[in-house]
Amino acid sequence: MITDSITIHAPAADVYAALVRPALIQQWFSDEAFLQFQARVGGAYYLGWNLGYRVTGTFTALEPNTRVAMTWRGDGEERETQVEYSLTAVDGGTYVTITHNGHSDSERGKQEEANHRRGWEGVLEALKHLVENGTDLRFMRRPMLGIFLDEVTPARRAEVHLPDDVNGVWIVGTVENSGARAAGLERGDVVVSIAGTPVNDFASIGAALKGKVGGDMVDVAYYRAGVRYEKPMQLTKRQPPAVPPTPAGLAAHLRDVNSRLMEEIAALTAGVPEELLARRPGADEWSVNENLAHLIWTERIHQVDVWNAVSAGIGVEWLDNNPAHLTPTLAKYRTGAALLDALREELMATAAQVEALPADAAARATTFIGLGATLLAGEGHMRDHIEQMTRALEAVKATV
């Protein structure tokens, strides 16, 4: 039998929620988590990891804030086994015990038990970190490139004279105080390898960074204006999000930041003819109006994030920036001024929604810290698009 235990400095209700809500399970345990409707006795679940391991089973016991039990069968495993979490209130928090049993005495069963034992190592530590701090420990331990990335389109390939037989990822911008910025990487560079591992798409970046931690030095190869360069770069350590401690404080911060950002956008677009606001600078580059429509859509997704945070539900998976997310907004708001007003209203609505968060949701680190980090990251996202709009206007004005 496999067993492990840990004390978590949080109420049992917060720990229990992290055991049965898919959006939280994905932040400390698996990479994918689906439940059949809600967790219920007899209800099915599925867990998946990016390395390819998948588990299915059913809940056999659900005693709120006390006990969770389930069957467990991974891909190709000999038999179904049993997993149980027990929660006991202790001074200052909750004592959590995990047991995993039911393996056979065959050689195969013994090997599977050994595999499971290794798999459970560090899992409760990740659960503790999420419930106490509101962040995914696995993610916090990963190094950060400090680069905003996008795909290499045919137009971009031509712009930087990238050889036909070379693939990579396009740098949209770099993060302030990051190793990428210190190394001199800039917008328009195409990264083709990291630490000697080819980077052909976003997924390959994870493989290149496997086993690395913040502070490590790696060689990064990139193309700029048709020339290949290679230089050392320090991977950036992730810092805990500095989220204001209350909904009112977070809302006030968002209002202050968004007010300044909207002033910048208003100044940028003031007096610009509508035809130029709507004109694309290139086939694969957005116009000013398309950037504004994207920001409006983003803010509506943020509102879904706030809504989901109240019940720790599943968020919206944003897979790409395909045009379908722009067309309804552009159809509704037909001018730059209308788009600007709509964006301002959506930002105000998000802040009001945050300020109105119920006390229990705001008190849970699993809810509030993760949500706050997402919303605070919006500033960097908006500034990136302000830069895009600035470049777009410069390009289209040059054609007049």
Break the chain into its structural domains and give their ranges: 2-140, 143-234, 247-397
Per-residue model confidence (pLDDT) at position 315: 62
Asked whether this chain's domains 2-140 and 143-234 adopt the same fold, the reply is: no
151 or 102, which is more confident: 102
C-alpha distances (whole Å) from 199 to each of 138, 149, 180, 235 are: 22, 12, 16, 16
What is the per-residue pLDDT across 308-337, written as a single tens digit (0 to 9) for each?
888 766 666 676 788 899 999 999 999 999
Choices 3.30.530.20, 3.30.110.40, 3.30.70.2860, 3.40.50.300: CATH for 2-140? 3.30.530.20
More confident residue, 166 or 386: 386
* Per-residue pLDDT reduced to its tens digit, 343-364: 999 999 999 999 999 888 888 8
What is the per-residue pLDDT for 28? 94
Level-2 CATH architecture, domain 143-234? Roll (2.30)
User: Does residue 2 surpass a pLDDT of 90?
Assistant: yes
Residue 356's pLDDT is: 95
Fold of 247-397: Four Helix Bundle (Hemerythrin (Met), subunit A) (1.20.120)
Q: What is the pTM of this model?
A: 0.75
Confidence of residue 35 (pLDDT cuts 50, 70, 90): low
The pLDDT of residue 38 is above 90 = no
